[in-house]
Amino acid sequence: MEENWQNKHIVFFDGDCGVCNFWVQWILERDKNDQFLFASLQSDFGQKFLSERGLNTKVFNTLYLWKPGQYYLEKSRAVLKIANLLGGIYKLSGLGKIIPSFLSDKIYDIVSKNRMKLANQKCYLPTPHQRAKFIQV
């Protein structure tokens, strides 16, 4: 499966967070060009991603977007890039780049800090096609 990763964007998220799972579902429903794969930060694959980059492997309050062999983004920059990649009206999110990262990440951190209060953990059952987009390694 690794050979397929080179052409995809991988979204790493907190698998135990209701807000994070909501956003994964939101991306899945709008990913018309089949650009994204998903992995929880708690998974072996997520832990390997974090440790290879010297990132914290115990705290899962950051969303990462990784384009293998090219870049990885975190927090607000990852969110803006995901929206831009989805295209259509979401490309307007590019305007968010005019906000300095330290400010947009501050807002991201406030939401992240309160994310467990914002959404209940729900059991989401993806379709077979959506299930294939989750990296289980």
Residue 116 predicted with pLDDT over 70: no
Q: What is the mean pLDDT of the chain?
A: 86
Chain-centre distance of CA 78, in angstroms?
7
pLDDT value at residue 46: 96
pLDDT value at residue 125: 62
Give tens-digit pLDDT for 31-74: 999 999 999 999 999 999 999 999 999 999 999 999 999 999 99
> What is the band of 114 on the pLDDT scale with cuts at 50, 70, 90?
confident
The Cα-based distances of 2 to 25, 57, 71, 137 in angstroms read: 23, 22, 16, 10
Bridge pairing between strands 9-13 and 36-40 = parallel
pLDDT value at residue 42: 94
Do the beta carbons of residue 96 and residue 77 sit within 8 Å?
no
Q: What SS3 string covers 78-107?
A: HHHHHHHHHCHHHHHHHHHHHCCHHHHHHH
- What would the mean pLDDT of 14-41 be, rounded to a whole number? 91
User: Is the overall model pTM greater than 0.85, yes or no?
Assistant: no
